[in-house]
Structure 1
C-alpha cells in the first residue's frame, strides 16, 4: 500500500473516531448541543450541564476510546506473535485472566485504581504466558492453540464466578464488570490504566520492525540476528499489559481484539507500522460507537456495551471461521 493512501485512511479514521466521540458526548438522556459543549469548555455553562459533561460524558468517551485502542492493538500483537489469525484477548483467555485478577483484587478488599490495574495485568500476563507455553511445548496446531485458549478462558471464568458466588460483596462489585460497560467510569478508575496503556503503546511504536520479524518466524529472525524468543516475551507482556489495563476499568469486552485487526489487515496489509496505529484508531472508534448505541437504543435504559459487542462480534467470528481457508484475502 502506498503511504499516501495509508495516511488518507488513517486521517479519515481519526476524523470519524473524533466525530463519533463528539456525538457520544452530545447525546443521551440530556442533550448537550455543540454550542452548550463549547460553553462548558469555556466555563460559561450552567453547573448541571458542566457536571454531566466533565463527570459522565467526557470520561466515558476517553475510556471507550482507550479501551478499544488497547484491546485492538493487543489482538493485533497476539495474532502476529502467535502466528494465529484467531488469536485475540477475549478468545485465548487473556481477558478472562484479567477478569480473574480484578475479581481476586475485589475479594481481598483492595479497591484502589492502581491495585486493580496491577491485578488485572497479573492475571492477563499469566493467561498469555500459559497459552504461549502450551503452544511452544506441545507443538500444537493453530486450531489446537485456539481450543486450548478457549478452555483456559472457561477455567479462569469459572474461578472468577466462584469468588463472586462465595462473597456477595464481590458479586455486587463485579456485576457490571462481567458484562462490560462504562456507566460507572470515573477519572480515579481510568487514570492508572490510561497511564499503562499509553506507555505500552509508546514502547510498541518503537518496535514495529522487530514485531514484523518475529511474525515471520524464528528462522527469519535468526537470519537477521534478532533474538526472537526475547522479543516474543516482550510483545506478549505488552499485549497482556494493554488487555489487562483495558479490562481493569471496562470489564469483559469481547471481540474488539479479533474483528478490528482483521479489518485493518484487509485495508492495509500486515506491516506493523500501519497495522498497529490504524488498529488503535479504529478500535477506539468502534468501542465509542458501540457505547453510544448502547446508551441510545433503549433510552432511558442502557444496554451494557459488552452485550451489544457480543451480539455484533459473535456472528462476525463465525463468518471468519467459515472463511478461514481463504486467508486474509477473504477475511
Structure 2
C-alpha cells in the first residue's frame, strides 16, 4: 500500500511538472520516455551493482533526468511543439525499451528477481526499497512545492514571465530535476507504471483549476489514490490470479491519451 501511495503521488506530480515546464498537455513521464530512461538505468544497476545499497534508486534518478533533458533539447531544437515533443519522446523511449529488452535477454535472472517491473506492479515492493527511494521522493516533492509560485508565473508565457523577473531557464531545469527525482523514485519501487502522470493532473486540473499551489498537492493525492484503487481492482478482478497494476493502468490511460491526441479543439492547459 505504501508503495502504491508513494509511486502514484510521485508520478502524478512529475506529470504536473513536465506539463508545466514543457507547456504541453500531453507530457507525462511515460509518454516522453522518462519512465523508460529510469527503467533502463535501474535494470542496468541491478546487473552491474546488485549488492550496492541505493544503486538502483540513484541510477533510476539519473536515467530519468538524462532522458527528460534529452527529449527537451530535441524538442527545443525543433520548435518545442506538442507533436515534436511526443515524437521525440516516443523515439527515445523506443531506443531505451530496446535496451531494456536486451538486458532482459542477456540477464533473465535479474528480471525474474523483480516481478512486475517491466509492466509495472507492486507485488515486489519491500520496506528496504521504500527506505532507499524515500529521500528522492521527499526531495522531489519539496522542490515541486517550492516551484509552485514560479510555475504560476510561467503559465503567463515565456515573455511575460521574463518581464516579471522569473528566470525561465532555471525554473524549467528545476522542474525537470524535481520530476526526475520523483519519476526515478516511482520506477525504482513499482517499475514502469503508465499514464498515472497523465490522468491524475488532468483530473485534478478539471476539479480545482490551474493554481499550482493547489494543483500539485491535489495531483499527488489523486495519483496516490488512483494507483492504490487500481492495484486493489487488479488483485480482485482475476482472483486467484493477480494482474499487475500497470496493465490495468495502460488499459485505462491509453484511450485517455488518444482522446487528447485526436481532439482537434482541445484547449491549452493554461487558461
1:258 aligns with 2:198: yes
- Match of 1:63, SS? helix
1:130 aligns with 2:107: no
1:198-235: CA deviations, max 9, x gaps?
22212221221111222333212211111110111111
CA distance in 2, matches of 1:185, 1:65: 12
For structure 1, list consecutive stretches of 5 or more residues without a partner in the other structure: 1-60
Which structure's CA Rg is the greater one? 1
- Match of 1:325, SS? coil
1:194 aligns with 2:134: yes
CA distance in 2, matches of 1:320, 1:212: 23
1:156 aligns with 2:96: yes
CA distance in 1, matches of 2:221, 2:264: 25
1:314 paired residue number? 254
Structure 1 residue 157: Cα displacement: 0.8
For structure 2, list consecutive stretches of 5 or more residues without a partner in the other structure: none
Q: Contact 1:177 / 1:251 at 8 angstroms: preserved in 2?
A: yes
After superposition, residues 1-331 of structure 1 pair within 5 angstroms as 61-112=1-52, 114-323=54-263, 325-327=265-267
CA distance in 1, matches of 2:240, 2:115: 20
Structure 1 residue 324: Cα displacement: 5.0
The CA RMSD over aligned residues, in Å, is 1.5
CA distance in 1, matches of 2:146, 2:74: 29
- Match of 1:270, SS? coil
1:126-146: CA deviations, max 9, x gaps?
110001111222214211111
The alignment of Structure 1 onto Structure 2 pairs a total of residues equal to: 269
| TM-score, normalised by the number of residues in structure 2 | 0.94
User: Runs in 1 of length 4+ with deviation above 6 angstroms?
Assistant: none
Higher normalized contact order (CA 8 Å, seq sep 6+, divided by chain length): 2
